[in-house]
Amino acid sequence: MACAITRAEPYTRDRESVPSTVAIEGTFTVDPDGIVAVEEVFGKDVLSGREVIICKNYENKETWTLPIDEQRLVEHLVANAGIDTSLADGVTSVEQLVKKLKTLTDAPEPVSSFLKQIEGKDYREEIHKILATRLPRFLYFDEYNMMPGRVSIQKLQQTPENSLEPGERTALSLLRLAGVHTQEFTEAKYEGRKASVEAAANQIMLPPKVFRGSPSPALVSCNLIL
């Protein structure tokens, strides 16, 4: 999912309100594969839009605002259960559907089973779980280190992380961001792994000062030595 940070609140001195204060808010755009993943489980057009808003407070708790079309969800649930589809007529939410089914007298067994299945189930949370696995990864930097122009993969493989130089630890973090383990750097796989690292490096929007005032991000070339 693509992301745009839409709000960031400064830390407040009011201690009582700190835990619930929204520290940051981001608007994420669900990619086509994410939409397909949700629709495979909950039906076509169950998402009424592609934008998801996620807020996080100072207790590190997330709040998701999901664009769910509950009427579409209800129609899918009823049709998928193999019961009378007219039961979804005029129903715009799962809560309404539960109330409607409870008013039925002598409901057939499939309907009773369906009611037990959906009552108390949080479908927003189910959709949230699907999309949460597609969130982009974020890295927090509390300091900046210059990465060496040449990095020894052998040294990264054989040296404990806390014994590495700051720049070498930066290189190790870059490898992790690229999803590449140092043990995967063999002569046979060298070019492919190096390309993955360079691609990851070029996706990081580093501050202009890192590039001596360059107004745009520079392409990074990693000289990794086996």
pLDDT tens per residue, range 32-76: 999 999 999 999 999 999 999 999 888 888 899 999 999 999 999
- Amino acid 100 reads K
57 has which bridge partners? 22
- Amino acid 30 reads V
CB neighbour class for 131 (10 Å; exposed up to 12, middle 13-18, buried from 19): buried
Per-residue confidence (pLDDT) for residue 22, from 0 to 100: 83
Give dist(CA 49, CA 203) in Å, integer: 27
Write out pLDDT tens, residues 21-32.
Answer: 888 888 999 999
Write out pLDDT tens, residues 74-107.
Answer: 999 999 999 999 999 999 999 999 999 999 988 8
Tell me the average pLDDT of the chain: 78
Distances (CA, A) of 136 to 19, 21, 179, 193, 203: 25, 23, 13, 21, 12
